[in-house]
Amino acid sequence: MDLSAELAAARESYTRNGLTEGDLAADPFEMFERWYAEARDAGIVEPNAMVVSTVSAEGAPSSRLVLLKGFSADGFTFFTNTASRKGSDLATNPRIAVLFPWHPLERQVRIDGIAHEVPRVEVEAYFCQRPRGSQLGAHASHQSRVVTGREELAAAYERVEAEFDDQPVPVPEEWGGYRVEPAAVEFWQGRPGRMHDRLVYRREGDTWRTERLAP
């Protein structure tokens, strides 16, 4: 199989909807809530899955999928191991990019902003809601560190499981969360002929202005 030829020919025609300035809500938070509800109701698997991109102190970018676990006018919240690569990146450079890839609806939402650490009390409240297996896993896995194999991870989980047998699982010291305060939020809707709609909210003090970008 000639994969290069296959990839060159692979394309979809986006014909579902358009996005006009008149469709926009008053602010990006109301607009995001509207689009998220439509993604959820459309049956998209894990509509809260988002690509988070960070940059290291050396300028090396990296991206990964995480789950949105909180949303308000203050920003978009996710939880993670703060000693992971993303946590190390954000400790030196809090600028962050977020992408929600809702392909079945021919939509994307892109967010550029600053990541702020979530207060510990909020981290603890969320951690207590997690399934016990996930709580144990947060202790057993030191995210992004090299391990010798699957056996090492399994042994670490078994040790933690025995340690906290019949006890509440405490929040690990290196586990926390970030709230992304957006500076710009782009709503992208596919269109035929690759003439996509790209409407962006940009923060100006306490207000938002909108503009259209060429696709």
| Cβ-based neighbour number of residue 75 at 10 Å | 20
Which pair of tokens denotes residue 199? Answer: 């409407």
48 to each of 2, 45, 70, 156, 186, how far by Cα in Å?
35, 9, 10, 29, 16
| Among 16, 194, 202, 212, the one annotated catalytic | 194
194 included as an active-site residue: yes
Question: Are residues 48 and 67 in contact, defined by beta-carbon separation less than 8 angstroms?
Answer: yes
Return the H-helix or E-strand segment holding 192. Answer: none
Torsion sign, CA atoms 113, 61, 81, 64: positive
Q: What is the dihedral of CA 186, 192, 194, 197, to 10 degrees?
A: -20
Question: Are residues 104 and 56 in contact, defined by beta-carbon separation less than 8 angstroms?
Answer: no
Question: Are residues 40 and 48 in contact, defined by beta-carbon separation less than 8 angstroms?
Answer: no
Question: Are residues 127 and 80 in contact, defined by beta-carbon separation less than 8 angstroms?
Answer: no
Active site residues: 194
